[in-house]
Chain A
Amino acid sequence: MSTQMQPQTTAATGFTDLSARDRVRSLLDPGTMHELLTPFDRLTSPWLEKQGVVPQFDDGVVIARGKINGQNTLVAAIEGSFQGGSLGEVGGAKIAGALELAIEENRNGNPTSAVLVLETGGVRLQEANLGLAAIADIQSAIVELRAMQPVVAVITGPVGCFGGMSISAGLCSYLIMTREGRLGLNGPQVIEQEAGVNEYDSRDRGLIWGLTGGEQRFQCGLIDQLVSGSVGDTRSAVVQCLASGVPAVHPSEAWLQHKDALQAIDMDQPMTPSYARQILQQGDDQ
């Protein structure tokens, strides 16, 4: 590996302004980042070029081993600016394969946790079924790893976290979001297309952020930490989550407490951000 310059990242730098690679680096203890399957391995998508789409050398996914607060950690990040942060065969296999190696590492007695930095629209349409299959692999690995060590999701960036990878985020031990991040299963355009503009107006940015933005997700108890978006804050939140260890109940099971509240939703009442908070705060133990 070549020896090159360190980016001028400080605690005040916007985490969101960084590339996926620099996001990974900014979370790891200085000097501990060991990137796996770097762009120089030239493992590009075998499917994009066939469809006339320019590939990227890392297929939009950065994987590194390193340490956070001295503890072994795997960090994976999806680059939102390449193909909308979509997951194809190679990028998906990088994340799944790395998580599988982290599981193996734990089995061998070397505690290794994981941080997933997610800026992704979900499955890459040009690799459809292979993206979906890779996400199933990632989900299986998250569930297995989180029983041993914490798996933390960091959701950030203008793309947000959608599609199958929003489910993956929901499987993690802890979820962190920056304020401008968005988290949802279906992208606004897809909902509008499938259900009509009255159901969801994809141009109504206020509505979209109001329902799926970081602040709302935090108020609804769907994430653990809301951060300003600076490198310093984001890193502190990650450190704090990792230090909390494996939670007694994971978010994917904790959410089941909303069962009765969902049945009680008044279908004549429009679903607004405040109504959503009212419903999801009902079941809260706090």
Chain B
Amino acid sequence: MSTLISPKGLQWFAALTKQCQSISTPIDSVRIADGELGAHSCRFLLVTANPQAHFPRARRGEVGLQEGIALAEAINDVIEQDAHSDSKRTLVAIVDTPSQAYGRREEAMGIHQALAASVSAYARARQAGHPVIALLVGKAMSGAFLAHGYQADRILTLANDAVMVHAMGKAAAARITMRTEDELDVLAQSVPPMAYDLKSYASLGLVDTMLELSPASSDSDVNEAPGELDTSLVEQALRTTQADILKQPRGLSRRLHGQNRQASLRVRQMLAEQWNAGA
């Protein structure tokens, strides 16, 4: 499956961490930088392509065994360092990852456990009081998104076609459901959770803010780095989101109010009634 390697993650990471201190990691596919977001300390995290990666199936920006470890370590360090501080550093996950790594070595070594390490780290950070923000600038697919971004307090997305959230790539989904990609799109019009477009995804209630960039950068010229205007717009959105997180109760329950996610709330309401009735 030769898909183009997306430069978006690295471009946004570079733009947003200009004033930050780069933190060394054991592998080049995970980039970490520390800086400030408003008056608050902040750590940026990115998984990106590394054509020289030790594991051949994790060279195009996939979250693999070593990426799971590197993310977990970078987050666990923050949790530990801030354990006795009142001010918990913000984590910003910049997301542009095509998938988890698919490979025999990965399965043999227990890649599920590597991804569990980073999920655990993000979840514990949020639960310990660290504001966690996911910034989607490209693909956020399946297990890769679970491992890097989906545990965030808030999900911000750029409002452009490069951003895609899904459980399975379109080509693979078409093969498995024995439909053409066009047929999938038609079906998705009546089944929003199946759709690949951002608007349908937002209708599930999972996106907090969609960021409209300047017209010049919203076209699909993937090679163009974000301009100053767009960068400051995103920075401003991150600061606003951080402030919002710090003054509200934490948890993922704010995701339960989407127009097309009503059953998730209904299930919880009924469960709560029956839970107490059975006590």
Chain A residues near B (Cβ < 8 Å): 34, 36-37, 41, 43, 45-47, 50-51, 63, 65, 89-90, 92-94, 96-98, 100-101, 123, 125-137, 139-140, 143-144, 163-164, 166-171, 183-186, 190-191, 193-195, 199-200, 211-212, 217, 220, 222, 250-253, 255-256, 258-259, 262-263, 265, 267, 271, 273, 275-276, 279-280
Q: Do B166 and A267 have beta carbons less than 8 Å apart?
A: no
17 new A-B contacts at CB < 8 Å, known A36-B271, A271-B104: A45-B263, A46-B263, A51-B191, A94-B267, A101-B272, A125-B176, A129-B167, A129-B194, A133-B264, A136-B146, A137-B252, A164-B146, A171-B119, A185-B100, A191-B107, A252-B120, A280-B109
B65 within 8 A of A: yes
B119 A252 Cβ-Cβ under 8 A: yes
Interface centre among A63, A131, A164, A167 (most CB of B within 10 A): A167
Chain B residues with CB under 8 Å of A217's CB are: 110
Evaluate whether A125 and B146 lie within 8 angstroms (CB atoms) in the complex, with A65-B278, A191-B103, A251-B116 already known.
no
CB-CB nearest in chain B for A220? B110
Say whether B73 faces chain A, with CB atoms less than 8 Å apart. yes
Known: A127-B193, A255-B117. Contact between A36 and B263, CB under 8 A? no
Across the interface, B167 reaches (CB within 8 A) one of A94, A132, A143, namely A132
Instruction: Report if B257 contacts A (CB, 8 A).
Output: no
B143 touches A163 (CB 8 A): yes
Interface of B is mostly: helix
- Taking CB atoms, residues of chain A closer than 8 Å to B44 are none
Q: How many residues of B contact A (CB 8 A)?
A: 80
Q: In the complex, what residues of A have CB within 8 A of residue B107's CB?
A: 184-186, 191, 200, 211-212
Q: Given the known inter-chain contacts A167-B143, A267-B56, please indicate yes or no for A222 contacting B113, CB distance below 8 A.
A: yes
Q: Does B40 contact A (CB under 8 A)?
A: no
B267 A128 Cβ-Cβ under 8 A = no
Tell me the interface secondary structure of chain A in the complex.
helix
Question: Contact partner of A211 among B100, B104, B150, CB < 8 A?
Answer: B104
Which residues of B have CB within 8 Å of A127?
Answer: 191, 193-194
| Chain B minimum-CB-distance residue to A190 | B102
Q: How far is the CA of A160 from the CA of B244 in the complex (A)?
A: 41
> A92 contacts which chain B residues (CB < 8 A)?
264
Given A186-B102, A255-B116, A256-B72, residue A129 in contact with residue B142 (CB < 8 A): no
Cα–Cα, bound, A183→B26 (Å): 28
B165 at the interface (CB under 8 A from A): yes
- CB under 8 Å from chain A, chain B span 215-272: 251-252, 255, 260-264, 266-268, 270-272
Given contacts A139-B119, A170-B115, A251-B116, is CB(A193)–CB(B263) below 8 Å? no
Cross-chain pairs A/B with CB under 8 angstroms, 16 sampled: A65-B278, A96-B268, A101-B272, A123-B167, A125-B168, A127-B191, A127-B193, A132-B145, A166-B112, A168-B116, A170-B110, A186-B102, A186-B107, A194-B1, A256-B117, A259-B69
Please, which residues of chain A bring their CB within 8 A of the CB of B32?
A: none
Task: Give the residue name and chain of the A residue nearest to B271 (CB).
Answer: A97
Contact B110 A128 (CB under 8 A): no
Given contacts A125-B167, A170-B115, contact A132 B142 (CB under 8 A): yes
CB–CB A43/B151 < 8 A:
no
B229 to chain A, nearest CB (A): 31
Give the docked Cα–Cα distance between A51 and B109 (Å): 37
Within 8 Å CB of B1, what residues of A?
Answer: 194
Give the contacting residue for A258; candidates B26, B109, B168, B272; CB below 8 A. Answer: B109
